[in-house]
């Protein structure tokens, strides 16, 4: 089979498409014939040997996939089942979805919802699952569209762009923050009512509280942007946090928490329980399903992954990229 393989040779990491053996499955495993996968920042890091993502080489990248079961040694799944796999160790230290066939533990797999195609599931992918988890926390904690604006940071990224589209569908007024001025028309086409450029927002304000502006926040970047946003949440507002591309550090204060009763909720789509993932994928296929999926996505082949990884690492990518097999 063909796969995108990362190898460590003389302390250098080399990656590209190679012919490798189709894996042999064991008990409680299935062999999936991949239909689609997607590209994520974590995949790009794995391709250059980032130790925080991958330590075992040679290695096949791809932290998510959608496909059809070719062979099963599991009581939970049979040949022909259409399935989705995201997170856990897939594409990290376990060979991932950027190959024609993938061996996967049955405890990592969910059946594809009826209202979602395999292609659509990977347009959402890990980013869409993370967005759904974030939006679900806002709704679960009582944030309603009449409460006011929702701020989405890192808006031109995968999680941010899908969050904007879903929130807009649900009737929320969305304010987006992006560092890419040329993406303003794109973000507004997804449903953003206003776009704030990052350099106008990412400034240190020494005041512990700012004017109340946002009923909720979906933060994908961390750092000072999250700190400043927290100061502007309305009373009883909710913020979710799922990323750290700005910084893993958060220098904040307790005033928004104790004077405005706000909540900050961490989001993790990697190790979330399978039952929770299943619930979120069903929401994605129903009330969270958006019409603008094609505008979010560029489709590539296995042979185009390397160039796309390079652009991801250079910060030149804003669309979702899916790989068709």
**Same structural domain for residues 23 and 78?**
yes
Q: Domain range for residue 69?
A: 2-115+293-324
**Same structural domain for residues 134 and 192?**
yes
Q: 259: which 2 tokens?
A: 């004077």
**Same structural domain for residues 109 and 187?**
no
The answer to whether position 273 is within a domain reads no
The pLDDT score that the predictor gives to residue 131 is: 96
The answer to whether position 221 is within a domain reads yes
**Same structural domain for residues 182 and 259?**
yes
**Same structural domain for residues 90 and 171?**
no
The pLDDT score that the predictor gives to residue 314 is: 86
**Same structural domain for residues 133 and 96?**
no
**Same structural domain for residues 134 and 73?**
no
The answer to whether position 36 is within a domain reads yes
The pLDDT score that the predictor gives to residue 135 is: 98
Residue 180's CATH number: 3.40.50.720
SS3 158: helix
How buried is residue 255: exposed, middle or buried, by Cβ count under 10 Å (0-12/13-18/19+)? middle
**Do residues 304 and 310 touch, judged by C-beta distance below 8 A?**
no
Q: What is the pLDDT along the chain (325 residues), one digit of tens a residue?
A: 999 999 999 889 999 999 999 999 999 999 999 999 999 989 999 999 998 899 999 999 999 999 999 999 999 999 999 999 999 999 999 999 999 999 999 999 999 999 999 999 999 999 999 999 999 999 999 999 999 999 999 998 889 999 999 999 999 999 999 988 888 999 999 999 999 999 999 888 889 999 999 999 999 999 999 999 999 999 999 999 999 888 899 999 999 999 999 999 999 999 999 999 999 999 999 999 998 777 788 999 999 999 999 988 887 776 789 999 9
**Same structural domain for residues 26 and 103?**
yes
- What is the domain count for the chain? 2
**pTM for this predicted structure:** 0.92
Closest CA to 309 of 106, 42, 102: 42
């Amino acid at each position: 089979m063909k796969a995108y393989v990362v190898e460590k040779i003389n302390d250098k990491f080399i990656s590209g498409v190679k012919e490798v053996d189709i894996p042999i499955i064991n008990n409680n495993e299935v062999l999936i014939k991949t239909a689609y996968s997607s590209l994520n920042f974590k995949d790009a890091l794995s391709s250059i040997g980032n130790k925080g993502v991958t330590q075992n080489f040679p290695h096949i990248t791809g932290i998510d996939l959608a496909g059809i079961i070719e062979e099963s040694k599991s009581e939970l799944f049979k040949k022909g089942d259409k399935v989705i796999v995201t997170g856990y160790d897939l594409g990290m230290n376990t060979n991932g979805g950027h190959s024609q066939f993938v061996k996967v533990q049955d405890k990592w797999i969910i059946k594809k919802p009826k209202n979602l195609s395999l292609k659509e599931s990977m347009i959402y992918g890990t980013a869409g699952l993370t967005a759904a988890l974030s939006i679900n926390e806002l709704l679960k904690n009582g944030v309603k569209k009449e409460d006011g604006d929702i701020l989405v940071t890192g808006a031109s990224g995968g999680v941010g762009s899908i969050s904007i589209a879903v929130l807009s569908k649900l009737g929320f007024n969305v304010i987006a923050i992006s560092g890419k001025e040329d993406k303003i028309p794109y973000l507004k086409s997804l449903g953003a009512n206003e776009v704030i450029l990052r350099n106008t927002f990412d400034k240190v304000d020494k005041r512990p509280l700012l004017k109340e502006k946002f009923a909720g926040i979906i933060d994908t970047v961390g750092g000072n942007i999250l700190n400043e946003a927290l100061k502007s949440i309305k009373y009883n507002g909710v913020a979710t946090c799922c990323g750290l591309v700005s910084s893993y550090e958060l220098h904040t204060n307790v005033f928004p928490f104790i004077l405005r009763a706000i909540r900050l909720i961490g989001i993790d789509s990697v190790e979330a329980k399978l039952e929770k993932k299943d619930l979120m994928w069903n929401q994605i296929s129903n009330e969270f399903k958006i019409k603008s999926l094609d505008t979010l996505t560029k489709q590539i082949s296995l042979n185009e992954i390397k160039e796309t990884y390079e652009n991801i690492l250079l910060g030149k990518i804003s669309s979702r990229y899916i790989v068709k097999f």
